[in-house]
Amino acid sequence: MAKPNSPLPAAAAPSPRASRPPPPGRLKLSHLRLIAAVADTGVLGAAAQSVNMSQPAASRMIAEMEALLEAQLCERLARGVRLTPLGQSLASRARGVLLQLSQAEREFADLKAGRRGVVAVGSVSAPAFDLAPAALTRLRRAAPEIELSLTVDSSNTLARELLAARLDFMIGRPPDDIDARLFHTRAIGLEEARLIVRRGHPLLSRAPVDLAACAEFEWILQPRGTLLRRAVDSLFLAANIPPPERFLNTTSMTLTMMLAARSDAIAPLSVAAVDFACRNVAPGALAALSTTFEIVVQPYSLITLRDRPLSPAAQTVYEMLREEAAGRAG
């Protein structure tokens, strides 16, 4: 059995009798697919299965790449494998190449089938509820053939999905723990938040209420580190008021609305989300709470990767969102 943190057996120095020269040529697409699969799974067997290859063949292919590049790419652990820093760098580049190839294949298939493209966009909650619907209405009229998927999540999660080539672009903020030079950003809006409570909540009869009154109740908050959570924490810190002692963390907007409607808990959501919930989702169950303070979150931006050009379909969606935001700003 191989020892933890030891190189893959196939990559070990060969005996003189079995010595072979490094394979000629360059990296192949099969190499890139395998190294990306190893990065995604962390298990050589699972990576091999995902690219329709046996595990011994995958080990040989890893060894072939290491010989070609003259560098160790993988280490075998007690459970699974771990990419070295050089392996991680190659896997990141491989994802980008594979995404561009996938885009080219999809665009050709779309043209052949009469479609125009497939686009995956990620967004934080505020523009997802406010900006995206209006832009998508325009898109349906101008380019009904485009197939669009929209993922709503935190900026940190979306940025990682963008780096992993699972999104074409995103609307949010670059995370603090990733090199900002990887991204191209275009600021398009400012996010504001309001508080939402159930109909009949004790604070509604006292509105507008101050922060100290709100601190007496349970809160439903996004996890620590998210921008909306930071904005709420900063409010209490600036006002020198102890934060709520009782709170629930969740990223689910649906769960946030359900819990607020069935308890005395207070939940901060984007202005667009609060308006939509009170008017459309649960008009008889939820209400916006008028306050003496404002909750302002950082501006959000259209974000792409600098070294990854958008497909024509993604560029169309990008421009629709940019034009919608510019029209509102004007």
* Residues 210 and 291 sit within 8 Å (Cβ to Cβ): yes
Q: According to the model, what pLDDT value does residue 1 have?
A: 46
How many residues in total does the chain contain?
Answer: 330
Tokens of 20: 């072979």
Q: What is the pLDDT of residues 62-113, one digit of tens each?
A: 999 999 999 999 988 877 788 999 999 999 999 999 988 888 887 777 655 4
Q: How much is the average pLDDT of 183-205?
A: 91
Q: Residue 288: CB partners within 8 Å, gap ≥ 6? A: 194, 195, 196, 274, 275, 278
Q: What is the pLDDT of residues 18-77, one digit of tens each?
A: 445 545 568 899 999 999 999 988 888 899 998 999 999 999 999 999 999 999 999 888
Q: How much is the average pLDDT of 199-226?
A: 91
* Residues 88 and 75 sit within 8 Å (Cβ to Cβ): no
Tokens of 108: 């050709």
Is pLDDT at 253 greater than 60 in this prediction?
yes
Closest by Cα among 187, 89, 188 to 135:
188
Q: According to the model, what pLDDT value does residue 301 have?
A: 93
Least confident of 48-62, 113-127, 307-321: 113-127
Q: How confident is the model at residue 115 (pLDDT cuts 50, 70, 90)?
A: low
Q: How much is the average pLDDT of 196-222?
A: 93
Which DSSP letter does residue 218 get? -
Q: According to the model, what pLDDT value does residue 20 have?
A: 54
Q: According to the model, what pLDDT value does residue 91 have?
A: 92
CA-to-CA distance for 141 and 193, rounded, in angstroms?
A: 31
CA-to-CA distance for 234 and 207, rounded, in angstroms?
A: 22
User: Cα angle at 245 between 244 and 250, to 5 degrees?
Assistant: 75
Domains of the chain: 6-93 (1.10.10.10), 99-189+299-329 (3.40.190.10), 190-297 (3.40.190.290)
Q: According to the model, what pLDDT value does residue 24 have?
A: 55
| Average pLDDT, rounded, for the chain | 85
* Residues 96 and 182 sit within 8 Å (Cβ to Cβ): no
CA-to-CA distance for 196 and 220, rounded, in angstroms?
A: 10
Q: How confident is the model at residue 5 (pLDDT cuts 50, 70, 90)?
A: low
Is pLDDT at 137 greater than 90 in this prediction?
no
Q: What is the pLDDT of residues 261-308, one digit of tens each?
A: 999 999 999 888 888 888 877 678 999 999 999 998 878 899 999 989
| pTM confidence score | 0.58
E strand segments, 14-145: 74-76, 81-83, 117-123
